[in-house]
């Protein structure tokens, strides 16, 4: 994941307007990206306007462990995995 000075908004592709959105600040982006790499999760950096397909998300989730290896904030990791699981069920992710 790329680091953005102001952070990054992510939405599920099929977003109902009530859920399926997360804002990640630069520190969270860096921490989650480091954890994903440590767990061997295939991931390309996201920039505003890019999309991740369900297949890409499923591939990343297949490698994920619910226990973080590098991230001290276990709640952030669990929330991130929950967001990814939801995105896999709702058409992918759009970065904004």
Identify whether 2 is part of a domain: no
Q: Is there a domain that residue 13 lies in?
A: yes
| Helices 26-38 and 74-89: angle between axes, nearest 10 degrees | 80
Q: How many Å apart are CA 36 and CA 58, to the nearest integer? A: 13
Single out the residue of 20, 11, 71, 72 nearest to residue 41, CA to CA: 71
- Domain range for 54: 8-95
- The reported pTM is 0.89
The percent of residues above 70 in pLDDT, for the chain, comes to: 92
Name the domain count of the chain: 1
24 phi, psi to nearest 5 deg: -115, 125
Residue 40 lies in a domain: yes
Examine residue 17 and state whether it is found in any structural domain, yes or no. yes
pLDDT per residue as tens digits for the range 21-54: 999 999 998 899 899 999 998 766 778 889 999 9
């Amino acid at each position: 994941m790329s680091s953005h000075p102001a952070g990054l908004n992510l939405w599920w592709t099929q977003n109902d307007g009530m859920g399926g959105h997360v804002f990640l600040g630069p520190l969270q982006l860096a921490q989650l990206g480091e954890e994903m790499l440590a767990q061997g999760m295939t991931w390309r950096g996201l920039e505003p306007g890019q999309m991740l397909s369900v297949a890409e998300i499923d591939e990343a989730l297949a490698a994920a462990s619910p226990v973080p290896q590098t991230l001290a904030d276990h709640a952030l990791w669990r929330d991130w995995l929950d967001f990814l699981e939801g995105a896999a069920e709702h058409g992918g992710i759009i970065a904004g």
